[in-house]
Amino acid sequence: MADGCLLLVDSSEGVMPQTRFVLRKAFACGLRPIVVVNKIDRPDARINDVLNGIFDLFVELEADDATLDFTTVYASGRAGTATTDMNIPATDLKPIYDAILAHVPAPDVDAAAPLQMLVVTLEYSDYVGRIAVGKVFAGKIRKGQRLSHMKHNGQRVETTVKQLYVFDRLSRIETDEVAAGDICAVVGIEGVDIGDTLADLENPVALPPIVVDEPTLEMLFRINDSPFVGQEGTYVTSRQLRERLMKELESNVALRVTADEVKRDEFHVAGRGLLHLSILLENMRREGFEVSVGKPRVINKEIDGVLMEPIEYLVIEVPPGSVGSVMELVGNRRAECVKMNGTGAMTHIEFTIPARGLIGLRTRLMTATSGEAIVHHNFYDYQPMRGHIPSRSNGVMISTDTGRATPFALDNLQERGSLFIAGGDQVYEGQVVGEHCRDNDLGVNVCREKKLTNMRASGTDKAVILKPPRLMTLEQALEYIEDDELVEVTPKAVRLRKSYLKENDRKKFARHEKAVAQ
């Protein structure tokens, strides 16, 4: 009999893309779900529609007949009640626990067999290094025990358990022995990775390894070489950047870091989507790092001689009046509509879209829908390339001087486009200070001051009224930049800049790229 899992869905929102991803993984492991429909007391609850959507999703994911005959529990988490029948008043959460006891079997383990423990996740400590976390499927594991570390690539190493922990709520408690069926954390295994097996030394038998999904997006990380380097952060050298990225690899198994073969201060960092890499950057800036990053690029694969690209499953909920704008924006990025239905005041639309088409899409969707769109996406599959996707249509305004931006200069530039800075902000030569209203880049002097004269006429001066600047978050900045631009990330600011700060250097690079293309 297969193991069970708990699937929690919202009675008003239904199935999210994250649910689809988790279910695909759960079905691949042979798990059968117990469906809990939450928030049944909400006035906009659509319980029957949500259940029908779940059933259709199970069919789409090729679930067997036993899985399609799932157990359903109706609950209200806020009220602390649950029931298996809407006609029976709910009083407590006991029906959920009863369903777990009835439909989720006990762990299929063998306490008398030789030790087998599968490493399913990793933690990291500056004091003891990597910590292997996993389930003991057979036998027992003891503190100080000599065992066989069987790596997923076939290698086998003899090692010793230095410390052993079990989990108690949100904390870990050290113990001397863990029996089959329990989840534990093991300290002292050098080079341990997800999918490895910790087995008996005399009779080692490996468990089926876990396959970790490959990264789909790559970005260039380099040291910050702007004129403001070192003013806001503590860690600014390439050595410190390298050490931080190598430390991240100890616990972030989905990350890949490759040093550039030519430039020693540059690193190619690959992860599972823009959010994955944005979280790493946000953590680094909070720790005091200064770094410059390039435009995200998708990682393509060649499968059976065909060039494949990562495809994402995109779900958008938008007011009916903005459906046309959404369809136009997403359609231009080679998306294919899979499903569309109206749910009350919002229209629910599902697409499959190339991962490169998502870069910069969220900001444009929010602009086109006045901020009312709800967007979710996750990895779907690798499929053949879908063709060209248009890039950013507008150029940028680039500062030609270093200094403090003046309201007088910014006032004269408001008609040229939207500004990213406010009066009084410090800028440097080569920094992107705004978006041009045309498709070409424009060099501007935002530090220009109003000339003083020895004669003043009454009423000639006027108060300068500036529009609020367009401030970008880290993720929005990463989506916005093009190939010749970088995002400067510091503990206090997120700035856009050109890769080459000097105008002459940019012209030389453009001529070189044109010559190479010919």
Task: For residue 195, give the CATH number of its domain.
Answer: 2.40.30.10
In a domain, 237, yes or no: no
The angle that helices 47-60 and 17-28 make with each other, rounded to 10 degrees, is 50
Same domain, 123 and 61: no
* Rounded distance between C-alpha atoms, residue 204 and residue 195, angstroms: 15
Same domain, 313 and 363: yes
Residue 27 confidence class, pLDDT cut points 50, 70, 90:
confident
> Which residue type does 317 have?
E
The pair of three-digit structure tokens given for residue 395, joined into one six-digit string: 């150029």
Q: What is the DSSP string of 306-335?
A: EEEEEEEEEEEEE-GGGHHHHHHHHHTTT-
Same domain, 138 and 87: no
In a domain, 283, yes or no: no
Same domain, 325 and 430: no
In a domain, 14, yes or no: yes
Q: Determine how β-strand 403-404 pairs with β-strand 374-384.
A: unpaired
Q: Determine how β-strand 442-444 pairs with β-strand 396-399.
A: parallel
Same domain, 401 and 378: no
- What percentage of the chain has pLDDT greater than the value 70? 94
Among candidate residues 354, 384, 414, the one where a domain is terminated? 384
Residue 285 confidence class, pLDDT cut points 50, 70, 90:
very high
Q: Is 99 helix (H, G, I), strand (E, B) or coil?
A: helix
> Which residue type does 359 have?
I
Q: What is the reported pLDDT for 13?
A: 61
- Quick one: average pLDDT of 409-432? 91
Q: Which domain, by its residues, includes 431?
A: 396-517
Residue 212 pLDDT greater than 80, yes or no: no
Window from 15-24, 96-105, 152-161 with minimum mean pLDDT: 15-24
The pair of three-digit structure tokens given for residue 282, joined into one six-digit string: 């946000």
pLDDT tens column, 327-370? 999 999 999 998 888 766 788 888 999 998 888 888 888 888 88
Residue 1 pLDDT greater than 50, yes or no: no
Among candidate residues 326, 350, 384, the one where a domain is terminated? 384
Residue 456 pLDDT greater than 60, yes or no: no
Q: What is the reported pLDDT for 117?
A: 93
R_g of the chain computed on alpha carbons: 28
H, E, C per residue of 185-237: EEECCCCCCCCCEEEECCCCCCCCCCCCCCCCEEEEEEECCCCCCCCCCCECC
Same domain, 376 and 426: no
Same domain, 406 and 326: no
> Based on the structure, what is the number of domains in the chain?
4
Same domain, 372 and 435: no
Same domain, 364 and 433: no
**Distances in Å between the alpha carbon of 49 and those of 11, 44, 55, 82, 341?**
9, 12, 10, 19, 11
Residue 16 pLDDT greater than 80, yes or no: no
Q: What is the reported pLDDT for 142?
A: 93
Residue 286 confidence class, pLDDT cut points 50, 70, 90:
very high
Window from 46-50, 246-250, 342-346, 430-434 with minimum mean pLDDT: 342-346
* Rounded distance between C-alpha atoms, residue 411 and residue 406, angstroms: 9
In a domain, 272, yes or no: no
- Quick one: average pLDDT of 297-321? 89
The pair of three-digit structure tokens given for residue 318, joined into one six-digit string: 């938008």
Query: Which residues is 122 bridged to in the sheet?
Result: 132
* Rounded distance between C-alpha atoms, residue 180 and residue 201, angstroms: 17
What's the CATH number where 479 sits?
A: 2.40.50.250
Residue 242 confidence class, pLDDT cut points 50, 70, 90:
very high
What's the CATH number where 320 sits?
A: 3.30.70.240
Residue 132 pLDDT greater than 60, yes or no: yes
Q: What is the reported pLDDT for 14?
A: 58
Residue 12 pLDDT greater than 60, yes or no: no
Report the 10 Å Cβ neighbour count for 59: 11
Q: What is the reported pLDDT for 143?
A: 93
* Rounded distance between C-alpha atoms, residue 42 and residue 12, angstroms: 8
Q: Average per-residue pLDDT in the chain? A: 87
* Rounded distance between C-alpha atoms, residue 91 and residue 80, angstroms: 8
- What percentage of the chain has pLDDT greater than the value 90? 36
> Which residue type does 414 have?
Q
